[in-house]
Structures are given as structure tokens and as C-alpha cells.
């Protein structure tokens, strides 16, 4: 984080002007952090000042353990949440959400299926929790991050976020509460219990906090664990994905399969299988204990061990581990599917796309223009194996129109089922009928994969896809608990240390500094500094010039005077805007409304000029601020309407542009919808639109 830039905007001559002086001035309280040592031989947790390991009797020396890095760091979860709730924005938003929840719970219809799922609190699992009015819940994440290219050294942070906060706020205030580091993966039986104990203390004893002088006590429950398949298996106590009964949601045993290109793998064919339940999970744990005692099999229906998370209050051992669409659907199924199409070893297959087809695909990819909400530009196919998750998210929106006319029709329709099924589950508001349709489409995709390709493609990820709709019923839309939030936090940690010594302590100290600045910064900042800090923390553009029109509309950037022609004058008169009362008209390139930026022109890689207005789609030509003689104002756009048709019969998220209207129309900026679009071109002509599936999930 560029703290030196941030500090220039802090008020008062005594404010430190360097990172070192800031750290010294803030006097970061490291008593919030505990070093927990473990035995170098068996990795059992070592009590303070213990000289011999109670498990393997290895002689212990605390100074040697410190030097060898045989410890991990645990932050005080209670104090971390107290610090977070001292932030007035966070506290106010949390109270507002809790009040809304209480009101909904008193409704006679609350027990019924919701009309739509718009966040975690709408999910069936969430609504079944036993929560008092002030209680709230958290999500938990842990995963490994390699921090050195030339070493196997990695960090495993534990993050938490408050589920009841609006998505953008809980993403912004994701909290680090634990950190394992070293050459090996953590021993979860050692790493997790101290964290679980803290969680249960908050669930049993509650947390006191204040909002606008209102004193509150909340009992906190940790109900969601978001992790990729590799991390989830040991966290849940199950077999890895390459073993029998390794599905975390059902009892599909899978089978060993001889690959057509040599070698073997574990595959999961389509079929109906019994679902896992918490009582069955406990039953299989008991049966496993008997097996191990008698020297029998080391797993029971995929269950290998008892996870420390089994002790969490109100935690569902099955549904608490949520579907991860980032790794499973984007970096898993969609990536494998795409790579298969262009893999030269498949040149004899009817789905193969050779050099000529790939060249045509590339010519379309390089013309794609994305809105401001998409931070990463898609690269062409020569780098496809290195595409990041955000690039695969963009590819999800454009792959069907780009492959149209290139990939054979039945293969394209097969791909469309995957795309439609996922987009339905990623909407701002997912209706129960959307979930039912998605379930049908994803099961068809899974079943047809073996028909159109081969059993080689019946992968673990392909099978997991069929469980995504059920997860939305349990916890709301897939974006609400996606790993994009936590991967972003991992990326921040990767830049918070220098050199190779005491990496863990460096990271934790910098995290505490940032949290202190965010928590107390409002008392230190100049009036414009908060906007700067937010832009730095959230990677947003900060504009030096802005005009607030009211009604949530703000023009930003430079401006120039606009002179209307006769037809434009008539347009305004038709809308009831009296030209004779106008004092001045300013033309802007950018306007922010509905929390989104819209523009009147394109750049080489970006297009923010597509807007939804009154259920119709337009391309913006001019953005105008009209100042009247009485100093009132009006924010409007001149735009042309687009005539579109849906590309896929089951979803209207991908549209073909049939016609661009030639008649200008007047749109009121305050009535813009928040929809944003990825735009596909062919020889510089707009041909298709891919609507971002939701307006909340950020990169």
C-alpha cells in the first residue's frame, strides 16, 4: 500500500511523513498477536515454557523454535471484531441490516421459500439459524499462498468477514485473524483449534460494541467456510478429489478410469446419488473410529478425520462448506473445456479448433471492450493457459458469441448450458425458478459431456457443478461467498513484507497498521482524504474535478461547453426542458450514477457507454449537465437505442445486437440502471453484449 502518498493527505503538522514514522506514531498494539509454538517433529501444539513434547517426547527449546520458525500467529478475534465495529460506517450498516432481518423474521411468510435470493441472509441455511436480534455471523477462509517464486515457502492466512454487512463493505473489511507460514502445509489439528476456541467464546459469551451511543451485545457465529477443493478436503476431514466418495455434498463414489491418452484418474459419472447430511457425517465418523481401532480402512464413505470445525456452534458440517465457483467453474470446468478445444493432441476430434479457427477467435478477443468494473483485460489464446480467474469470468460472458460460427453448433449448445446455468446463479437476485432451471442445465451439461467428449472429461469439478444450485438455495448467490473476496485479501498480504526474515510478523504488523489507519483515519484526515484512501484500498480511480447534481448523479473529470443544433433543441423541448431557461450546457466524458461510471465514448480497451434505461438498451453519445438560469440543473444523455435478441434461449445475459438506432433520444442519468456490459466486436462493429451477471461482485 502506498502509505507515503496517503500520508500527504492527513491533516496536522505532527502527522508522520513516512511508513516508519507512521508505525512509530500509531504505536500498533502487538499484544493482539500471539505466537503459538509447535513441536518440530510431530507438529503438536506446545504449551508455553514446555520443555518436552507431550506427544512424542521431543526436547523443546522455545528460542530454537522461534529461530526455526516453528510457530504460527493467532490474532485476538474478539479484539479484531471490536476494532472493526468501532468504524462508524461498518457499525451503522450492520445495525441497519440486523434491523431489517428482525423485521423480516417477524413476518408470517418468513418460514416460506423467499421470492428471491439476493445475499447470504436469504439462504435456507441462514434462515434456519437460531439468532437473536443483535446476533451476527461470519464467513471463514484459509488457503495457501506461495510468496517466493524460487521457494516452496508459503503462508496460510485465516480470514473472516461479517456476513450481514453489504457485500462491498464486507469485502473491504475482510479481517486477518491467523497466519501459518513455512515450507509445508499447516497441520490443521494444530492450527485450527485455537481459532475455533476463540470463535466459540464469541458464540457463548457474546461481543459488546457501540453504534451511535447505542450499546449492543451480539453473539457471533461462524457459519460459512469458503475454500477451494484442495484446502476444503482436509478442512472438512474428507478424502481429496482423486479418491472414492470425495464429493463433499453427496455419495457419488466415482471410479478409476483409464485415460485415452494413457494414465489413470478418478472420474465421477452422471447419476443420482444420496446426499450427505450432518447426522450421516457423525455416523460415519463413529464408524471410522471403530475401523481405525480394529486396524481397518482409514476412511468411511470419504470421511478421513474429525475436523476441528465440528466444534463450532451452529456450524453445518456439510452445507457450511460452500461451493467455490471461482476455482471449480472458472479455473476448473471452463478452463479445461476451452483448453481441450485448442489442444493439438485433439486434432482428430470433431470439436478441435485448429490454427485458422484460433486466429479468428483471437481477432475477436482483441476487439473485446470491458466496462470499468472489469480490471483485467483478456489476453489472446497464446496465453490462455495463464489466464487469471477474472479473465475466465470475462470469457464466460463472451465465449458463446465468439465461438459462434467457429465451433460446431451442438458443441456450442452444450457450452451454452454451462454458461446459462452459471449466469443464473450469479445474478443480483436469483429467483427459485432460476435455481431450478440452472439445476436442469448444469445436470444436462454434465451428462452430455461424456456423450460429446469422453469419460476423460467427467472430472471432479464437472460433478461439483451439479451441486452449485443447491448451495444457492442454502446461502444465496454464488458471488456472495466467492473466493474472489479472499483471493484479493491474499494478494494484499503478498505485498506487506520485505526480505525473507520474520515474514509472518512483518505481514501481521503491516495489517494492523492498515486496520488502524482505516479505523481511526476519519479523525486524522482532511475532508478529501477519505476518498483518496478508499481509492487506494479499492483500486478505484479518484477524480480531482466533480460536479454533484443531486439524486445520486455526479459528473467527473474535465468538461467543455456544448452547443446544441436545432434537432437537439427540439429533443430537449420535447422532454419538457425549456431551452429559453438554460444558462449553460457542459459536456462531460464521465458520469457516476447508481454507483457505476458511464461514459460518452470508448477507449482502446474500455466501453462504458452501454446503458439500460427503462428496460431498453442504449449507447450513449453525449453526457450533458444543463444549468438553468435559476441555478437548478438537469443531468441527461443523448443516446441511440440498440435492438437486441437473446443468444441463448435459457438466459438473456448474452445479447446479439440486431440494429443500432439512428435517432437520438434523451435519457435522464438518474434513471440509468446499474447493468454494465462487456462488448464484443467484429471488424470494429459492435455485435454482441455480455451483461455482467451482477452489479456487486468486484475484482
Alpha-carbon distance of 678 to 692, in angstroms, equals: 7
Model confidence at 152, pLDDT cuts 50, 70, 90, reads confident
Contact between 532 and 6 (Cβ < 8 Å): yes
Give yes or no: residues 17 and 94 share one domain.
Answer: yes
Could you tell me which of 160, 303, 314, 302 has the C-alpha nearest to residue 225?
A: 160
According to DSSP, the β-strands at 220-226 and 136-142 are: parallel
Q: Strand, coil or helix: what is 617?
A: strand
- 47 pLDDT exceeds 70? yes
Q: Return the sign of the alpha-carbon dihedral for residues 121, 117, 615, 611.
A: positive
Q: Return the pLDDT at 194.
A: 97
Q: How deeply is 400 buried, as exposed, middle or buried, from its count of CB atoms within 10 A (0-12, 13-18, 19+)?
A: buried
Could you tell me which of 522, 347, 239, 523 has the C-alpha nearest to residue 531?
A: 522
Q: Which cell is 505 given?
A: 510478523
More confident residue, 698 or 234: 234
Could you tell me which of 63, 70, 64 has the C-alpha nearest to residue 45?
A: 70
Residue 147 falls inside a structural domain: yes
Model confidence at 519, pLDDT cuts 50, 70, 90, reads low
Give yes or no: residues 158 and 20 share one domain.
Answer: yes
Give yes or no: residues 529 and 625 share one domain.
Answer: no
Residue 182 falls inside a structural domain: yes
Model confidence at 20, pLDDT cuts 50, 70, 90, reads low
Residue 329 falls inside a structural domain: no
Q: Return the sign of the alpha-carbon dihedral for residues 549, 551, 557, 562.
A: negative
Other CB atoms within 10 Å distance of the CB of residue 113: 11
Give yes or no: residues 665 and 648 share one domain.
Answer: yes
Residue 648 falls inside a structural domain: yes
Model confidence at 1, pLDDT cuts 50, 70, 90, reads very low
Give yes or no: residues 497 and 639 share one domain.
Answer: no
The pTM for the full model equals 0.91
Average pLDDT score over the chain: 90
Domain count, the chain: 2
Q: How deeply is 290 buried, as exposed, middle or buried, from its count of CB atoms within 10 A (0-12, 13-18, 19+)?
A: exposed
Residue 132 falls inside a structural domain: no
Give yes or no: residues 614 and 650 share one domain.
Answer: yes
Residue 56 falls inside a structural domain: no
Residue 212 falls inside a structural domain: no
Q: Return the pLDDT at 109.
A: 77
Highest mean pLDDT (candidates 273-277, 508-512, 537-541): 273-277
Alpha-carbon distance of 514 to 508, in angstroms, equals: 10
Complete DSSP assignment for 549-605: EETTEEEEEEEEE----HHHHHHHHHTT--GGGEEEEEEEEEEEETTEEEESS--SS
CATH number of the domain enclosing 578: 2.30.30
The boundaries of the domain holding residue 165 are 3-37+70-111+140-195+483-537
Give yes or no: residues 501 and 615 share one domain.
Answer: no
- What percent of the chain has pLDDT above 70? 91
Give yes or no: residues 623 and 491 share one domain.
Answer: no
Q: Return the pLDDT at 9.
A: 42
Give yes or no: residues 682 and 565 share one domain.
Answer: yes
Q: Strand, coil or helix: what is 353?
A: coil
Model confidence at 16, pLDDT cuts 50, 70, 90, reads low
Give yes or no: residues 679 and 621 share one domain.
Answer: yes
Contact between 423 and 653 (Cβ < 8 Å): yes
Q: Which of 512, 537, 562 is the last residue of a domain?
A: 537
Q: Return the pLDDT at 392.
A: 96
Give yes or no: residues 513 and 638 share one domain.
Answer: no
Q: Which cell is 676 given?
A: 454494465
pLDDT in tens, 101-143: 999 988 877 777 788 999 999 999 999 999 999 999 999 999 9
Residue 442 falls inside a structural domain: no
501 Cβ contact partners less than 8 Å away, ≥ 6 residues apart: none
* Mean pLDDT, residues 482-502: 81
Give yes or no: residues 570 and 682 share one domain.
Answer: yes
Could you tell me which of 95, 99, 103, 121 has the C-alpha nearest to residue 216?
A: 95
Q: Return the pLDDT at 489.
A: 87
Amino acid at each position: 500500500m502506498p502509505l507515503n502518498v496517503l500520508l500527504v493527505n492527513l491533516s496536522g503538522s505532527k502527522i508522520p511523513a513516512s511508513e516508519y514514522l507512521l508505525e512509530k506514531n500509531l504505536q500498533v498494539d502487538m499484544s493482539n498477536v500471539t505466537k503459538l509454538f509447535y513441536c518440530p517433529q510431530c507438529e503438536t501444539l506446545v504449551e508455553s515454557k514446555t520443555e518436552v513434547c507431550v506427544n512424542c517426547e521431543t526436547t523443546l527449546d522455545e528460542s530454537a523454535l522461534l529461530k526455526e520458525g516453528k510457530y504460527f500467529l493467532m490474532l485476538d478475534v474478539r479484539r479484531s471484531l471490536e476494532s472493526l465495529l468501532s468504524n462508524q460506517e461498518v457499525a451503522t450498516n450492520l445495525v441497519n441490516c440486523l434491523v431489517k432481518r428482525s423485521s423480516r423474521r417477524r413476518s408470517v411468510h418468513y418460514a416460506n421459500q423467499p421470492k428471491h435470493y439476493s445475499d447470504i441472509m436469504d439462504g435456507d441455511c441462514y434462515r434456519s439459524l437460531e439468532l437473536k436480534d443483535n446476533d451476527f455471523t461470519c464467513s471463514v477462509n484459509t488457503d495457501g499462498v506461495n510468496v517466493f517464486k524460487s521457494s516452496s515457502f508459503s503462508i496460510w492466512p485465516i480470514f473472516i468477514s461479517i456476513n450481514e454487512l453489504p457485500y462491498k463493505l464486507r469485502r473491504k473489511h475482510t479481517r486477518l485473524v491467523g497466519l501459518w507460514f513455512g515450507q509445508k502445509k499447516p497441520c490443521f489439528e494444530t492450527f485450527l483449534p485455537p481459532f475455533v476456541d476463540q470463535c466459540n467464546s464469541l458464540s457463548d459469551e457474546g461481543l459488546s460494541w457501540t453504534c451511535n451511543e447505542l450499546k449492543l451485545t451480539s453473539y457471533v457465529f461462524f457459519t460459512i467456510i469458503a475454500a477451494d477443493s484442495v484446502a476444503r478436503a482436509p478442512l472438512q476431514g474428507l478424502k481429496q478429489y482423486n479418491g472414492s466418495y470425495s464429493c463433499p455434498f453427496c455419495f457419488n463414489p466415482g471410479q478409476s478410469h483409464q485415460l485415452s491418452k494413457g494414465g489413470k484418474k478418478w472420474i465421477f459419472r452422471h447419476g443420482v446419488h444420496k446426499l450427505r447430511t450432518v447426522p450421516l457425517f457423525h455416523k460415519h465418523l463413529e464408524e471410522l473410529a471403530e475401523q481405525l481401532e480394529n486396524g481397518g480402512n482409514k476412511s468411511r464413505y470419504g470421511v478421513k478425520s474429525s475436523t476441528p470445525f465440528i466444534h463450532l456452534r451452529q456450524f453445518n458440517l456439510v452445507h457450511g462448506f460452500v461451493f467455490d465457483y471461482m476455482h471449480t467453474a472458472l479455473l476448473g470446468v471452463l478452463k479445461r473445456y476451452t483448453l481441450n478445444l485448442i489442444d493439438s493432441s485433439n486434432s482428430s476430434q470433431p470439436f478441435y479448433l485448429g490454427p485458422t479457427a484460433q486466429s479468428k477467435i483471437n481477432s475477436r478477443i482483441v476487439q473485446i471492450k470491458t466496462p470499468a468494473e472489469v480490471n483485467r483485460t483478456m489476453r489472446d489464446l497464446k496465453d490462455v493457459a495463464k489466464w487469471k480467474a477474472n479473465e475466465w469470468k470475462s470469457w464466460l460472458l463472451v465465449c458463446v458469441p465468439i465461438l459462434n460460427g467457429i465451433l460446431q453448433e451442438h458443441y456450442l449448445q452444450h457450452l451454452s448450458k454451462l454458461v446459462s446455468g452459471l449466469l443464473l446463479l450469479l445474478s443480483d437476485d436469483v429467483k427459485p425458478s432460476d435455481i431450478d432451471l440452472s439445476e436442469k442445465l448444469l445436470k444436462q451439461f454434465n451428462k452430455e459431456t461424456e456423450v460429446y467428449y469422453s469419460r476423460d472429461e467427467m472430472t471432479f469439478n464437472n460433478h461439483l457443478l451439479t451441486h452449485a444450485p443447491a448451495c444457492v438455495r442454502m446461502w444465496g448467490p454464488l458471488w456472495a461467498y466467492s473466493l474472489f473476496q479472499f483471493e484479493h485479501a491474499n494478494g494484499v498480504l503478498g505485498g506487506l513484507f520485505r526480505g525473507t526474515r520474520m515474514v509472518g510478523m512483518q505481514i501481521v504488523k503491516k495489517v494492523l497498521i492498515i486496520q488502524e489507519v482505516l479505523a481511526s483515519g476519519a479523525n486524522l484526515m482532511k475532508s478529501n482524504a477519505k476518498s483518496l484512501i478508499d481509492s487506494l484500498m479499492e483500486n478505484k480511480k479518484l477524480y480531482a474535478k466533480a460536479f454533484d447534481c443531486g439524486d445520486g448523479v455526479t459528473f467527473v473529470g474535465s468538461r467543455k461547453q456544448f452547443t446544441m443544433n436545432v434537432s437537439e433543441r427540439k429533443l430537449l423541448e420535447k422532454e419538457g426542458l425549456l431551452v429559453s431557461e438554460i444558462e449553460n450546457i457542459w459536456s462531460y466524458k464521465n458520469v457516476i450514477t447508481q454507483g457505476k461510471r458511464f461514459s460518452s465514448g470508448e477507449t482502446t480497451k474500455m466501453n462504458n457507454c452501454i446503458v439500460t434505461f427503462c428496460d431498453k438498451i442504449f449507447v450513449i453519445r453525449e453526457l450533458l449537465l444543463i444549468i438553468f438560469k435559476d441555478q437548478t440543473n438537469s443531468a441527461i444523455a443523448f443516446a441511440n437505442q440498440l435492438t437486441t435478441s437473446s443468444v441463448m434461449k435459457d438466459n438473456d445475459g448474452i445479447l446479439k445486437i440486431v440494429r443500432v438506432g439512428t435517432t437520438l433520444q434523451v435519457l435522464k442519468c438518474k434513471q440509468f440502471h446499474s447493468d454494465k456490459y462487456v462488448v464484443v466486436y467484429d471488424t470494429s462493429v459492435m455485435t454482441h453484449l455480455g451483461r455482467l451477471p451482477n452489479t456487486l461482485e468486484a475484482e
